[in-house]
Amino acid sequence: MRRLKRTLFISDLHLDPARPEATARFHRFLDRALPGADALYILGDLFEYWVGDDGLTLAFPAEIASALSRASRLAPLYFLHGNRDFLAAQGFADATGAALLSDPTRIDLYGRPALLLHGDTLCTDDTAYQSFRAQVHDPEWQRAALAKPLAERVAMAERLRGESEGAKQGKSLEIMDVAPAAVERAFEDCDCDLMIHGHTHRPGRHVHRVAGRDRERWVLPDWYARGGYLEASTAGLRAVEAA
């Protein structure tokens, strides 16, 4: 019997030592869901924060990197940065066996062009966040941040995480969700009918009518509660809960 071709997509796991249940779920996912897959795409925010590749000297990042390295022997791994792990670089790629992708990236998914992105660039109505994103993606800012001692960067990441959670309290869900106009532009720019992303923590399937065609957008779930992944195969796409 022929094996069904399938590719897996995850994002927004926000792995952290303080959430061991999510980490255990991630290890089970790699052990149970990944074998036999054609590829695994991680679309950002794998970690609650990533302070630089020298953080691999810390126990928890090293544990996850080791698990990914073992997984890379089962299937090709691809990593696209999120808003929490944007400092992951070649050292992370070397340690995990994952190929780093630009945001956005267009792939061929069993004959169907698909656009992959983390999703935060689509949230254009959240102007405060977009200003912050532009700052932390500036090469000069990143060089200055990475020049700080590791312990200081960890403290900075903890502070920024707290500030981020506080800022969300004063924003509506609509402001933090994708802007329809940004989604339409992304579909037109990539000239494809399928988009997969995370970031908003509002999983689901959406259909957009763009330039006279129906386009399909899948939003991946976060792993704060249950978690899950998207499985694409020659038979179609389906959302799967994590075990």
Cβ atoms of 206 and 5 within 8 Å: the answer is no
Residue 171 has pLDDT above 80, yes or no: no
* Angle 18-14-152 from CA coordinates, rounded to 5°: 70
Q: What angle in degrees, to the nearest 10, is found between the helix axes of 59-71 and 20-32?
A: 10
Q: Which domain holds residue 94?
A: 6-241
Q: What is the pTM of this model?
A: 0.94
**In-domain check, residue 1:** no
pLDDT at 1: 41
Asked if 221 contacts 10 with a C-beta cutoff of 8 angstroms, the reply is no
Chain segment 213-228, per-residue pLDDT in tens = 999 999 999 999 889 9
List Cα–Cα distances, 238 to 5, 131, 136, in angstroms.
Answer: 13, 35, 34
Looking at the domain assignment, is residue 157 inside a domain?
yes
Non-local CB neighbours of 185 within 8 Å, separated by 6+ positions: none
Tell how far CA 45 is from the center of its chain.
Answer: 5
Summarize pLDDT for 76-130 with one digit per residue, the tens: 999 999 999 999 999 999 999 999 999 999 999 999 999 999 999 999 999 999 9
In the structure, what pLDDT confidence band is assigned to residue 176 with cuts at 50, 70 and 90?
Answer: confident
Give the tens place of pLDDT for each residue, 180-199.
999 999 999 999 999 999 99
Q: Which domain CATH number covers 204?
A: 3.60.21.10
Residue 3 has pLDDT above 90, yes or no: no
The pLDDT of residue 179: 96
Asked whether the beta carbons of 47 and 85 are under 8 A apart, the reply is: yes
**What per-residue confidence (pLDDT) applies to 39?**
98
The verdict on residue 15 lying in a domain is yes
Q: Report the domain count for the chain.
A: 1
* Model pLDDT, residue 25: 97
